[in-house]
Chains A and B, each alone.
Chain A
Amino acid sequence: MTNHWVDIKNADLILIMGGNAAEAHPCGFKWVTEAKAHRKARLIVVDPRFTRSAAVADYYAPIRAGSDIAFLGGLINYLLSNDKIHHEYVRNYTDFSFLVKADFGFEDGIFTGYDAETRKYDKASWGYQLGEDGFVLTDPTLRDPLCVYQMLKAHYARYTPEMVSSICGTPQDAFLKVCEMIAETAASDRVMTIMYALGWTQHSQGSQMIRTGAMVQLLLGNIGKPGGGMNALRGHSNIQGLTDLGLLSNLLPGYMTLPGEKEQDFAAYLDKRSPKPLRQGQLSYWQNYPKFFVSTMKAWYGDGATAENNWAYDWLPKLDKTHDILQVFDDMHAGKMTGYICQGFNPLASAPCKVKVAGALSKLKFMVVIDPLATDTSEFWQDHGEYNDVDPTQIATEVFRLPSTCFAEEDGSLVSSSRVLQWHWKAASPPAEARADQEIIAGIFLKLRELYAKDGGTFPDPILNLTWRYKQPHSPSPDELAREFSGRALADVTDPKDATKVLVKKGEQLNGFAELRADGSTACGCWIFAGAWSEKGNLMARRDNADPYGIGQTLDWAWAWPANRRVLYNRASCDPAGKPFDPDRMLVAWDGANGRWSGSDIPDFKADSPPADGMGPFIMNPEGVARFFAVDKMADGPFPEHYEPMESPLANNPMHPDNPLARANPAARVFKGDWDSFGKPDQFPYVATTYRLTEHFHYWTKHCRSNAVVQPEQFVEIGEALAAEQGIRSGDHVRVRSNRGHIVAVAVVTKRLMSLDVEGRKVHTVGIPIHWGFTGVARNGYLTNTLTPFVGDANTQTPEFKAFLVNVEKIQTRV
Chain B
Amino acid sequence: MALQSLDIQARSATTTPVPGVRETPDLAKLIDISKCIGCKACQVACMQWNDLQGEIGHNIGSYQNPHDLNDTTWTLMRFYEVEPEANRLEWLIRKDGCMHCADPGCLAACPSPGAIVQFSNGIVDFHQENCIGCGYCITGCPFDIPRLSKKDEKAYKCTLCSDRVSVGLEPACVKTCPTGAITFGSKRDMIEHAEARIVDLNERGFAQAGLYDPQGVGGTHVMYVLQHADRPELYGLPKDPTVSPLVELWKGIAKPLAIATMAFVGFASLFHYVTKGPNAVSKEIEKEVEKEEEEQA
Contacts and interface: CB of A to CB of B under 8 A. Distances in A.
A26 B39 contact: yes
A56 interface: yes
A29 B36 CA distance: 11
A178 to B, nearest CB: 16
Interface string A721-752: 00000000111100000000000001111111
Contact of A55 (B37, B41, B58, B200): B37
A779 B38 CA distance: 22
B93 A33 contact: no
A30 B38 contact: no
Contacts of B54: 709
B200 A40 contact: yes
A752 B55 contact: no
B37 A29 contact: yes
Given A40-B200, A695-B40, A706-B48, A712 B56 contact: yes
Most B C-beta atoms less than 10 A away, residue of A52, A729, A815: A52
Interface string A64-87: 000000000000000000000000
A98 interface: no
Nearest to A20: B37
Nearest to B63: A748
Contacts of B178: 26-27, 29-30
A22 B37 contact: yes
Contacts of A779: 56, 58
Contacts, number: 123
Interface string B33-71: 011111111011001100001111111111101100000
Contacts of A708: 56
B65 A709 contact: yes
B39 A52 contact: yes
Given A50-B89, A56-B34, A22 B61 contact: no
B90 A55 contact: yes
Nearest to A732: B61
Interface of B is mostly: loop
B36 A710 contact: no
A54 B93 CA distance: 12
Interface string A702-713: 000111111111
Contact of A777 (B38, B47, B56, B62): B56
A598 interface: no
Nearest to B88: A60
Contacts of A362: none
Interface string B78-90: 0001010000011
Interface in A573-609: none
B44 A710 contact: yes
Contacts of A56: 34-37, 179
B149 to A, nearest CB: 16
A714 B90 CA distance: 24
B55 A26 contact: no
B91 interface: yes
A815 B93 contact: no
B75 to A, nearest CB: 11
Given A26-B178, A55-B91, A815-B58, A705 B40 contact: no
Interface in B9-45: 34-41, 43-44
Given A30-B180, A50-B89, A778-B56, A55 B61 contact: no
Contacts of A52: 37-39, 91, 93
A36 B200 CA distance: 9
A693 to B, nearest CB: 8
A116 to B, nearest CB: 44
A709 to B, nearest CB: 4
B287 interface: no
B83 A709 contact: no
B291 interface: no
B150 interface: no
Given A22-B37, A56-B35, A731 B60 contact: yes
Chain A CB within 10 A, most for which of B38, B56, B57 = B56
B129 interface: no
B55 A709 contact: yes
Contacts of B41: 26
A54 B37 CA distance: 9
A33 B181 CA distance: 9
A791 to B, nearest CB: 30
B203 A752 contact: no
B204 interface: yes
B44 A58 contact: no
Contacts of B39: 22-23, 26, 52, 694-695
Nearest to A730: B61
B68 to A, nearest CB: 13
B61 A707 contact: no
A554 interface: no
A193 interface: no
Contacts of A711: 40, 59, 63, 65
Contact of A715 (B36, B59, B200): B59
B179 A729 contact: no
B60 A730 contact: yes
Given A55-B91, A752-B81, A709 B56 contact: yes
Interface string B121-164: 00000000000000000000000000000000000000000000
A37 interface: yes
Contacts of A42: 204
B81 A751 contact: yes
Given A706-B47, A713-B59, A40 B40 contact: no
Contact of A694 (B40, B47, B81, B90): B40
B89 A37 contact: no
Contacts of A731: 59-61
Given A56-B36, A710-B43, A748-B61, A33 B179 contact: yes
Contacts of B89: 50, 60, 751-752
A119 to B, nearest CB: 41
Nearest to B90: A55
Nearest to B55: A709
B56 A747 contact: no
Nearest to A55: B91
B200 A37 contact: yes
Contacts of A32: 179
A56 B47 CA distance: 25
A54 B91 contact: yes
A712 B59 contact: yes
Contacts of B38: 52, 55, 694
A416 interface: no
A705 B60 contact: no
A231 interface: no
A197 to B, nearest CB: 15
Interface string A25-64: 0110110111011001010000000101111101010000
Nearest to B196: A37
Given A22-B37, A22-B39, A712 B91 contact: no
Nearest to A62: B89
A778 B56 CA distance: 7
Contacts of A37: 180, 200
A748 B59 contact: yes
B90 to A, nearest CB: 7
Contacts of A26: 37, 39, 41, 178-179
Given A56-B35, A711-B40, 19 more contacts: A22-B39, A26-B41, A36-B200, A52-B38, A55-B38, A56-B36, A56-B37, A56-B179, A706-B44, A709-B54, A709-B55, A710-B43, A711-B63, A713-B58, A730-B61, A748-B59, A750-B81, A751-B89, A752-B81
The 7 closest A-B pairs by CB, nearest first: A730-B61, A731-B61, A22-B37, A713-B59, A55-B91, A26-B39, A694-B39
11 contacts: A26-B39, A34-B180, A55-B90, A705-B56, A707-B44, A712-B58, A730-B61, A732-B61, A751-B83, A752-B81, A777-B56
Interface of A: 22-23, 26-27, 29-30, 32-34, 36-37, 40, 42, 50, 52-56, 58, 60, 694-695, 705-715, 729-732, 746-752, 777-779, 815
